[in-house]
Structure 1
């Protein structure tokens, strides 16, 4: 959610390996009004966005809705996956760039503001 180039590049490959189609990946920016996603999947995506915001925007209402559709174990697993995704801050801090996994075909790495150089690798 912070635009880590490596994560934006690798993410679609991981999603494809998990069974998502390119149509589903392309529909993600409009998931709330897209046909490829079930209501349960849309709820999980809403939750993911709320968890990944800074500051976190999870309130009692989304948790109650999630518990109607997900077991405690599923909710814990989803939240743990989101925690791992948040490690993109590590990649961003170290200037890890795209590795060419997706070649911009689905999720295009974000543009840098004009005049902003590529991050320098720390390691």
Structure 2
């Protein structure tokens, strides 16, 4: 149970209630997260729509996005985020056991070269961003456009934010 109460959608202004509902209908099973974000209307007004717009743009493949999210969530030990994103990554072709072992990406049998690169970049960009080497960045450029690299980095850092937010407030659907 979250450390703060869930705000019921019926308590929200109509514009915020619509965002809340659209987030649940189009983004995923994040009801508790949205209900807690609702304590700060600006957060509900901007964060879910940003995530929805990024998903709709499809700049970055869902597989790479979910690999990055699960890697960062596992590094942060955010059980809520891993549980919420594990089904999405399963749809993208990884087995539940493969997802559980994703931090061993260097020799992971279910990951190809680009998947491993995404996992490596996710780990380095989250844990030691000042140590993203030029060589690692050059490898990213071989497979991704600048827009994709920017979005990947944005999603890695947003994921870390949501991990910490969810864990500190004990959000768990």
Q: TM-score, normalised by structure 2?
A: 0.49
**RMSD, aligned α-carbons:** 2.0
Higher helix share: 2
Partner of 1:112: none
Tell me how many residue pairs correspond in the alignment: 97
Task: State the shift of 1:59 in Å.
Answer: 2.5
Partner of 1:71: 145
Please tell me whether the aligned partners of residues 94 and 110 of structure 2 are also in contact (alpha carbons under 8 angstroms): no
* Correspondence for 2:113 among 39, 42, 45: 39
Unmatched tracts of structure 2, length 5 or more: 1-74
Distance 1:19 1:35 in 2: 12
Please tell me whether the aligned partners of residues 105 and 120 of structure 2 are also in contact (alpha carbons under 8 angstroms): no
* Correspondence for 1:89 among 164, 167, 170: 164
Equivalent positions of 1:1-123 (< 5 A) are 1-53=75-127, 55-56=128-129, 57-86=131-160, 87-97=162-172, 99=173
Distance 1:23 1:93 in 2: 27
Distance 1:84 1:14 in 2: 17
Using CA pairs under 8 Å that are at least 6 residues apart, name the structure with larger relative contact order, 1 or 2.
Answer: 1
Distance 1:62 1:33 in 2: 17
Unmatched tracts of structure 1, length 5 or more: 100-123
